[in-house]
Structures are given as C-alpha cells and as structure tokens.
A and B are shown apart, each in its own frame.
Chain A
Amino acid sequence: MDSPMSENNEDQQYPRRWNHIRKILERAGPFCHPNYEASPEVLNFVMTSCKILVIGAGGLGCELLKDLALMGFQKIDVIDMDTIDLSNLNRQFLFRRKDIGQSKAEVAANFINSRIPGCKVTPHFNRIQDFDEDFYRQFHIVVCGLDSIVARRWINGMLLSMLSYEENGELDQSTLIPMIDGGTEGFKGNARVILPGMSACVDCTLDLYPPQVTYPLCTIANTPRLPEHCIEYVKLIQWPKENPFDCAIDGDDPHHTNWIYEKSQDRANQFNIPGITYRLVQGVIKNIIPAVASTNAIIAAACATEVFKMATSCCLPLKNYMVFNDLDGIYTYTYEAEKKEDCLACSNVPKILEIENDNLKLQQLIDILCENESYQMKNPGLTTVHDGKTFTLYIPTVKSIEERTRENLKKTLSDLGLKNGSEILVADITNPNTLIFSLKFKSHS
C-alpha cells in the first residue's frame, strides 16, 4: 500500500502533522481494544481508504466535517438539501455572509477542501432520498447531524435494508454499515452508535423522541388560550381555506410567514391573547428548536470520536447512547439502548420459505403458510415489493382489494414476477407483526 505521505506536499512540509493521531494509532495501551494491532497501516487506512458519509451540513454537520478532516479522514461525502440562511451564520462557521442562498453542502465542502490540505469532501446538494443503495454501499461509516426524525428513520431503514443474511439467518457482517447519530436541542444533545441489525436502531428507540406538540383541533378552533393556538389555527384552518399564495406553506418564504403573522395577530386580538411575535410564528410553522453552538460542538466531537474508533478499532465504541445536558452544570450519562424484539425496522429478519419452484400458484403458497407446522396461519394477507414499489398480491380482509386481487390466486409465482430470493410480506392474525419471507426455490422450472 502507498504511504499517503509520499504524495502530500503539506505532509512533507509539516512532517509532524499527524503526530497526535499517530500516538493513538501506533502504540498499544491499556484503553485499547484487546485485539488492537497498533501500526502505521491504520492511519494509512483512515487517510486513503476509509469513506465517510456525513448527512447534514448544518450546525452539527459543519462541526463534524471540520473534526473529521482534522482527524485525517480524507474521503468524505456530505449531503444536504438546504441553502444557507442569514440565521445560520452564528454557529455554522463554514459559512459567510456572501454564501447566503448557496448550497450548504457545496460551500462547506469548498471551505474544508481549501482549508485542510489533502482532504477531499464531495458535496451533494440533494435529499437523502435522491440516492439508492448503490450510493450508500460505498461508505464505511455514515454519520448523521440531522434535525428530523423522518430523515433519521429513512437512513436507518436504508442501512437496514442493505443487510444480507446467511441461510441460517445469521447476519452477513460485510453488509453492515455503522451509523453514528448526533442530535441537539438547545442545551441538550445525544450521540449514539448504531450497528444496524445488531444493536438498537432508530426505530427501536422511537419513544425517546418526544412527539411533536399538538393541540386539540377544537381548542384551536374555538377556545384558544395560547398564542400558539392562534398560529396553529391560521396554519391548519385559515391557510387551506383562503390559500393566499396558491401553494403549501413554505416556512422559508417571508411572505408566507408575514401573512400567517398578521392573521394570527388578528385572531389573538379577537381573543385577547398576548404574545404573538414574528419569531414565535416562525418557530411554530418551521418547528424551530433553538440551536446552541457549544452543544453542537460537543455532540459533533463525540460523534467524530466514535467514527474514528469505529474506523480504526483502536478503542471500544460507545455502548451505545450518550445523553448530554449543560442547561444547569454539565451532565452526561451513557447507557445501552436495547434492541426491541418486535422492532418493525430491524427485528424483522426475513425467514426463508422453501418451495418447489415458481410454477406454484399463489393459492398454493397461501395453503403452505396455513398448513406449515411452524406458521399455521389463518387468513394471511400478502404483499411484495418490486423495484421499491409495493405490490399487493392478495388481501382477503378488505373487500375492495380482495375483489381486485382474487385473480392473482390462480396465477403462478412467475406470472406475479416473484423470483428465487424475492421477499413477500405476510400479515396474519397469528402474529403481531407483518412477517417477511424470502422465497427459496428447490428447483428451477
């Protein structure tokens, strides 16, 4: 393997550039992972081979990119669909006033690439949903600095869907991509390590995320008491009714915010409710959580450290959930979030269903599920996924679907596009969750 040193002028100019990292990677010590083999090869891997994906180039993302680049990671990709806003500049320190309106991912990547020689950050001004498995599979580690639960669950689901299992049901570890996830909310934050399929995933711990505050619709409509009730009224009822700009609410459009602000003010006056401010309106419609630069820095540092440990194996990873709070003093606590036995996202390991071949009719397949000793289903409903699109095979319990899928019962699996290795999703009263079966043909027709 080439030494990264030979090609890099900066490293010749500053031969001690990586000394601090070397001390960790080239020496053994009492805190090392028991199997750790200290060697210069490890730094070489970090610098030349290890590919990291950073999701989000906002408050956490800027910190993460800086931390990772200064630790020696040189192949970093960053995804962010947002553009830079004036209000970001106090903490998203890779951005300047002249950058307002430009892609966060692109500006952040350019900043790091020019400031930290040798590092190559590749920006993607995209949504995470714009990419498929082939894109995500190229990375060794994914690290997230996101502010949305939906996006976290999406990437969690993507990494889980990329896992392969051996025939005996064991996870093929070469398909596993660790996910390091950071989150902050004001003075509170958390960092966690997820080994998809092995340790607790985002969905296993969904109850840790407080549900979005919602107010009863009738309170909003008739007996508002809080300024938030008035803003919600305009957002939920008045906007769809009057449709002032002929489109959905865009929290980044000042015309929209202004309109909602004025109407909320009118409504608040009507009910003698004080406290409507432009900022509050913005907060309610965009669901803004105040961001604190120091919390972001601490959580990003914890995440970057985990990426480093994971990439080098020099130290045992965080096990597996760290919470942090510096609202009043400084508090941290680390505990092991548990993998949920019935987690829909990660505990649903496909079961192998062995059948003769694809000449089997769907009805016969259902009969097998009902007669098989270990399943003994009663009235299963079946769906499958073709190229990311769901496809209903047969659902007996819903009349309008039953009528239109009844024909499928007489079709063979090959008519229905099911192949060796295809997955079918089966819901039945005998199991609390939808089961996933992977079809295995004993012979080929």
Chain B
Amino acid sequence: MIKLFSLKQQKKDGEATPKVGNQKKASAAHLRITKDLNELNLPKTCNTEFSDPDDLLNFKLIICPDEGFYRGGKFTFSFKVGPNYPHEPPKVKCETQVYHPNIDLEGNVCLNILREDWKPVLTVNSIVYGLQYLFLEPNPEDPLNKEAAEVLQNNRRLFEQNVQKAMRGGHVGSVFFERCLK
C-alpha cells in the first residue's frame, strides 16, 4: 500500500500527468455479446439482421417456423442489449403483429427467461431457442393474449384457422392483423 501511494503522490503532485494514449476500452456488455454472437448457432428457421455491423447491441431476429400452427409465417423480433448485460436480459419485442397466446398486440413477449428466470449464464442463443419454442408450442397456461389462449384451450381447430387468417392478413374478431406469410 505504501508503495502504491508514494508512486501516486509523486505523479499527481507534479500536476503534469502525461497523457497515456489509452483508447477507451470495450464494455463488459460488448465483450460478452461478442462472445454470444461468435457462438450463435441458429436453428435453420432463424436468421439475424444487423442494420449496423459495428453495433452488436441492437439487432433483429427473424423466425420462419417450418412446422406447427405458425408454419409459413415470418416473425421479426427486435433485441436491445443494455449496458448491464448479462446481468440483465436483453429487451426483446415482437415487431410482427401475431395472433399468439403468449405475445400481445404491442409485441410484449411472455417468455420466462426474458424476465423472472433470466440468469447471466444464459445467452442470445438461449433466447432464440425459447422464442422458437413459443411458435412450436404456444402455451395457453400463461396467456398474454387471453382471447387467443382461450380459443387454443377450447378449440384447437378454430385456433389454427384464426392463426392462418391472421398470417394471411385479416381480422380475427375485431383485431386486424397484417399479412406476415413468407
């Protein structure tokens, strides 16, 4: 400790601290997202889009399910990775209007690892798989769109028709959905 400070004392008494050509370093969030992306292993139904390749913290994920209710559709999610990543999860929103029990019409997504079950060991890959799973197995138990959840629970056939109607572009009940077929 003594050594530490006698050095400092000299340096700072002199006022003229030489400017070290130190560049500002990368944030922990940037280091971690670089790692996440380098290990990104997307299922064949998914793709990412970076509008600015230098900005790794904001990007889109496009999911085109090839089976299940949502086969043939194309759904875009926005990812915003904050400065506190991975201590906090990225903010994920669905940008495509979708008739889905776990996604509301404002694009909020009910996926446990995006909120209450997020842990810093999880990665972008974990979220991609979680989102993909939502399209394969929509879960009526944890509804965000209550009407859709009720239909799924009571009449799977009608639910399937409603999904198709919404994806082709049209009204389901009073809500209009824009076409999102691939």
B31 touches A313 (CB 8 A): no
Knowing A164-B22, A241-B106, the reply to whether A427 touches B34 (Cβ < 8 A) is yes
Please pick, from B7, B25, B116, the residue contacting A214 in the complex, using a CB distance under 8 A: B116
Knowing A157-B28, A395-B37, A398-B50, the reply to whether A217 touches B115 (Cβ < 8 A) is yes
Q: Is there a chain A Cβ closer than 8 Å to B136's Cβ?
A: no
Q: Is there a chain A Cβ closer than 8 Å to B19's Cβ?
A: yes
A149 touches B31 (CB 8 A): no
B54 touches A389 (CB 8 A): yes
16 CB-based A-B contacts, threshold 8 Å:
A138-B17, A150-B84, A173-B4, A174-B7, A174-B8, A217-B114, A218-B143, A381-B38, A383-B56, A388-B24, A389-B54, A390-B56, A392-B53, A395-B38, A427-B35, A429-B38
| Cα–Cα, bound, A123→B96 (Å) | 48
**In the complex, how many angstroms separate the beta carbon of A46 from the nearest chain B beta carbon?**
11
* Binary contact track A138-171/B, C-beta < 8 Å → 1, others 0: 1010000000011001100100111010000000
Q: Is there a chain B Cβ closer than 8 Å to A344's Cβ?
A: yes
Please tell me the size bucket of the interface on A.
35 or more
* Binary contact track A170-199/B, C-beta < 8 Å → 1, others 0: 000111100000000000000000010000
Interface of B is mostly: loop
B142 touches A153 (CB 8 A): no
| Cα–Cα, bound, A344→B3 (Å) | 27
Residue of A nearest to B55 (CB): A390
- Residues on the B chain within 8 Å of A241, using CB: 106
Residue of B nearest to A309 (CB): B1
B115 touches A383 (CB 8 A): no
- Residues on the B chain within 8 Å of A49, using CB: 9, 12-13
- Residues on the B chain within 8 Å of A203, using CB: 28
* Binary contact track B47-61/A, C-beta < 8 Å → 1, others 0: 111100111100000
Interface of A is mostly: mixed
A153 touches B35 (CB 8 A): no
B48 touches A398 (CB 8 A): yes
Q: Is there a chain B Cβ closer than 8 Å to A63's Cβ?
A: no
A218 touches B110 (CB 8 A): yes
Residue of B nearest to A317 (CB): B1
Q: Is there a chain A Cβ closer than 8 Å to B21's Cβ?
A: yes
Q: Residues of A with Cβ closer than 8 Å to B? A: 33, 35-36, 45, 49, 51, 132-134, 137-138, 140, 149-150, 153-154, 157, 160-162, 164, 173-176, 195, 203, 206, 211, 214-218, 221-222, 236-237, 240-241, 310-311, 313, 316-317, 344-345, 348, 379-381, 383, 385-392, 395, 397-401, 404-405, 421-423, 425, 427-429, 433-434, 436
B84 touches A153 (CB 8 A): yes
- Residues on the A chain within 8 Å of B27, using CB: 157
**In the complex, how many angstroms separate the beta carbon of A214 from the nearest chain B beta carbon?**
5
- Residues on the B chain within 8 Å of A133, using CB: 22, 24
Knowing A162-B22, A344-B31, A405-B53, the reply to whether A398 touches B8 (Cβ < 8 A) is no
Please pick, from A174, A389, A397, A433, the residue contacting B37 in the complex, using a CB distance under 8 A: A397
Residue of B nearest to A174 (CB): B7
Knowing A33-B1, A173-B4, the reply to whether A45 touches B9 (Cβ < 8 A) is yes
| Cα–Cα, bound, A154→B27 (Å) | 9
A218 touches B25 (CB 8 A): no
| Cα–Cα, bound, A433→B22 (Å) | 22
- Residues on the A chain within 8 Å of B48, using CB: 398-400
- Residues on the A chain within 8 Å of B8, using CB: 140, 174, 176
* Binary contact track B26-49/A, C-beta < 8 Å → 1, others 0: 111011101101111100000111
A344 touches B38 (CB 8 A): no
Please pick, from A160, A316, A344, A392, the residue contacting B32 in the complex, using a CB distance under 8 A: A344
A313 touches B34 (CB 8 A): no
**In the complex, how many angstroms separate the beta carbon of A304 from the nearest chain B beta carbon?**
17
B35 touches A399 (CB 8 A): no
Residue of B nearest to A391 (CB): B54
**In the complex, how many angstroms separate the beta carbon of A331 from the nearest chain B beta carbon?**
27
**In the complex, how many angstroms separate the beta carbon of B153 from the nearest chain A beta carbon?**
13
Residue of A nearest to B12 (CB): A140
| Cα–Cα, bound, A423→B30 (Å) | 14
| Cα–Cα, bound, A379→B22 (Å) | 28
**In the complex, how many angstroms separate the beta carbon of A415 from the nearest chain B beta carbon?**
16
Q: Is there a chain A Cβ closer than 8 Å to B130's Cβ?
A: no
Knowing A49-B13, A206-B87, the reply to whether A390 touches B30 (Cβ < 8 A) is yes
Docked complex: B121-148 residues within 8 A CB-CB of A: 142-144, 146
The residue in B1, B83, B112, B114 that gathers the most chain A C-beta atoms within 10 A of its C-beta is B1
- Residues on the B chain within 8 Å of A216, using CB: 110, 112, 115-116, 142
